A = this chain, B = another copy of it.
Amino acid sequence: MDDAQGTPPRRGAYEKGVRRRREILDRAIEVFAERGAEGTSLRAIGEAIGVSHAALKHYFSSREELLIEVYRAAEERSIVEDRPPAGVSVVGIMTHAARRNHGVPGLVQLYSTLVAGALEEGNELSRAFFGERFALLRRFLAERVEAEQAAGRIRPDIAPEAAAALIIAASDGLQTQWLLDPRIDIEKSLELLEGLLGR
């Protein structure tokens, strides 16, 4: 157990770097939760979160990388801090996430901006991140659909993959409509979908 007796310098510097990077992301999440990225430059983001441009460039190679890492960290944090209740339905998982997003419109906006950017040529980092994220989420939800079918809670004639893509699409699209018009009732439409899948 040599490690317990003394941490070699390189490891200490590495850990300090990881901690500092984490602090930057935490601060950025707070700022973005309120007002989104708003097309600001890396320099302007640095000013908003009180971190020098040089420090930002040390930890993140580009604005795109910083924004993706902010989104990834925010999502991971929210999953850890605010899990959906045990035994919740597959649509309930998305409803829970949508309810959580209600308090952080800036992060929903950041998500929309990043996804739209991923569809444009040149943003390979975003494209890879969201391509993988959507694929993972579809697989996860398709497995949940299968489990609910086995438990008799979702109609057996529904294709799990098609249902998973539909549930994610509904959740994403409803959040976009809600950002443009706060009267949109995301939960009501998602509950409608849940009821339809269950009959």
Contacts and interface: CB of A to CB of B under 8 A. Distances in A.
Q: How many copies does the complex hold?
A: 2
A38 B109 CA distance: 19
Given A38-B122, A122-B38, A170 B166 contact: yes
B119 A109 contact: yes
B170 A188 contact: no
- What interface size band does chain A fall in? 35 or more
Interface stretch (A19-27, A55-63, A76-84, A171-179): A171-179
A119 B166 contact: no
Contacts of A37: 120
Given A116-B112, A120-B109, A192 B158 contact: yes
Contacts of A120: 36-39, 109, 113
A189 B164 CA distance: 9
A49 interface: no
Given A118-B180, A134-B180, A165-B174, 6 more contacts: A109-B116, A115-B176, A116-B116, A159-B188, A165-B177, A168-B173
